[in-house]
Amino acid sequence: MTNPSSEYDKGFDMGLTRRIIAYLGPYKTLAASGVLLALLTAALQPLPTLLQRYAIDHYLVPYTNGSNLNAAALYQGLTMVVLGYVGLRVLEFALTYLSTITVGYLGQNVLRDIRADVFGKLQRLHLRYFDQNPVGRLITRVTSDVDAINQFITGGLISLLTSTFLIIVFMTVMLTVNWRLALIAFTVLPFLFYATNFFRGKLREAFRETRTQQAIVNSKLNENITGMLTVQLFGRERRSSLDFDHSNRALLGSLENSVKWFSLFMPTVAVLGQVAIALVLYFAARQILGVDVVGTGAAAAISVGTLFAFVQWTQQLFQPIQDLADVFNNLQAATASSERIFGVLDTEEEITDKPGARTLENFRGQVDFDRVWFAYSEDVTAQTPEADDRWILRDFDLHIRPGESVALVGATGAGKTSVTALVSRFYDVQRGSVKVDGVDVRDLAQHDLRRHVGVVLQDVFLFAGTIESNLTLNNPDIPHERVVEACQYVGVHDYILSLEQGYQTEVRERGATLSTGQKQLLAFARALIQNPDILLVLDEATANVDTETELRIQDALKKVMQGRTSIIIAHRLSTIEHCDRIIVMRRGRIVEQGSHAELLAQGGYYAKLNQLQYAGAAD
């Protein structure tokens, strides 16, 4: 897992910027159009002021000083300037509208592509990654962080180009009209450059801290909403509120820090802009009044129209510089977010298919664990000492014949669930090998392997949608008849028909309206509908159901296990008495194995477990 603090030590990374720009590739025409329209809009900005300068110097000043008293001619000239001015503003409006809508479409398309890439990456990542990263943090990646990238494109990258171009346009026009006055206006630019760099660093740190605190708040929300039953059952509402308030205040503090630096940046730029205007007014006024002019007259020094234009241009010059403050705002947020997004996209996929991965042909259902050593910690390697407590399975050696039903029993933490996870290759072993039909699962295509494995978990997850869509997992190739048949097998068909809309009844999030037993039966039916018909893995499927439902599941089990390699995990020993072989596990090792009767006759660990369980039931 990436350490957030290490991310925040980085500066602005052009490599990240290039990777974001790469997403513009499929939309080159849209991007080029947006940039071109934005640049054309920027190029128009100085023109209205040029018209105003022309009107003042050629029509207003001559009339006021009496050098031209032809009012009709002056009025006609002013009318033409006004029409030109209005035309420029209309053209500017049209270009701005087209530019904004083009850039908006561009940003939304890139947003969709990045979100799809992140979601697709999450689909391929190994389960260990989700063990180490909270759900709220990952949701932040796909939502808030991706939105920050959109802001980078629409309000950052394009604005950076147009604001920079606009600054160049104003500086060029000002130097062309009066280079001396222009240089006077530019004297504050070095101070502005220093201030920009200073505040940019502060904003970068502030926005990165904000992203971290936002992810923490999202994690807290997800955790408390998901576990609301436990929170209320144990009266933890006040404690949870205090805990959330602590995280929420940390987020508030980081946001206030961002606002503080941003609020200082904007007035600093504004004050420097006003200083530049004051300098322009001072030196231009001296020339107009003839203080710095020798023998040529005030008018030869600088015109009133030029002074007016320079005041306007100086204000307009500092406007895009002020806009760059908001641009840097977006850039810093996007830099922090892109680091985190590309951190997900760059995460190594530990469980991948080898080039030319094999598929299972004429599958028989033989499963072999050859001296397997396995640990969930990514720090554990084949060279880790055997005495290390992080090992879950230790020299685990098990060979299951095709069609054989095998039960795994043992105390919590013995490694039973890990065995089923390794068969489906959700994790790779550090030592030894797991084989299916004599082929190492690491040499098989994951999708082909897992389509042969039906899994029923203790913690049933139901998706938002109808009951039937949950059973078929939205596979259109599964006919309704197969769904009904599987539900009849497990005895949930009558219950589904009792609902108002039957199989089309909407299931609430995580099946909130269904009982534990009903969800368990639906999960069992879902496994049957997928028709693994080669290998059926059950993970404590009957742990949370009543006796009547358990008997119903046991009856269905006997039917579906015929001819299938079956691995069953159960805490209730009564559910596995019929299995061909029972494997007793303790601390990651096999301590006993045999049939139910054989293990009872041995009087070992299994017999003690059986005695304790029945004694507890009797009490």
pLDDT of 371 over the 90 cut:
yes
**Position 41 in a domain:** yes
**Position 382 in a domain:** no
Final residue in a domain of this structure, among 345, 365, 384:
345
Q: How many CB atoms lie within 10 A of CB 78?
A: 15
**What secondary structure does DSSP assign to 455-475, as a single string?**
EE-SS----SEEHHHHHHTT-
* Per-residue pLDDT, 88: 92
**Position 564 in a domain:** no
* Per-residue pLDDT, 368: 93
Residues 199 and 325 in one domain: yes
Tokens 């509908």 found at? 529
d(CA 585, CA 419): 11
What's the CATH code of the domain at 173? 1.20.1560.10
**Position 560 in a domain:** no
pTM of the model: 0.67
* Per-residue pLDDT, 69: 61
Give the whole-number percent of the chain exceeding pLDDT 90.
10
pLDDT of 543 over the 60 cut:
no
pLDDT, tens digit (0-9, with 9 covering 90-100), for 278-317 = 888 888 877 777 655 444 443 345 788 888 888 888 888 8
pLDDT, tens digit (0-9, with 9 covering 90-100), for 27-62 = 889 888 988 998 898 888 889 888 888 888 887 877
Residues 339 and 459 in one domain: no
**Position 330 in a domain:** yes
* Per-residue pLDDT, 318: 78
d(CA 537, CA 407): 10
Residues 459 and 336 in one domain: no
**Position 171 in a domain:** yes
Q: Write the CB contacts of 480 (distance below 8 Å, at least 6 apart in sequence).
A: 468, 503
* Per-residue pLDDT, 5: 39
* Per-residue pLDDT, 293: 47
SS3 assignment for 556-598: HHHHHCCCCEEEEECCCHHHHCCCCEEEEEECCEEEEEECHHH
Range of the domain at 290: 16-345
What would the mean pLDDT of 171-190 be, rounded to a whole number?
88
CB-CB contact of 154 with 103 (8 Å): yes
* Per-residue pLDDT, 298: 36
**Cβ neighbourhood burial of 29 (10 Å; 0-12, 13-18, 19+):** exposed
pLDDT, tens digit (0-9, with 9 covering 90-100), for 90-104 = 999 999 899 889 888
Residues 189 and 321 in one domain: yes
More confident residue, 75 or 392: 392
Final residue in a domain of this structure, among 313, 345, 377:
345
**Position 606 in a domain:** no
Final residue in a domain of this structure, among 312, 345, 378:
345
What would the mean pLDDT of 325-352 be, rounded to a whole number?
78
Number of domains in the chain: 2
Residue 87 pLDDT class (50, 70, 90 cuts): very high
**Position 340 in a domain:** yes
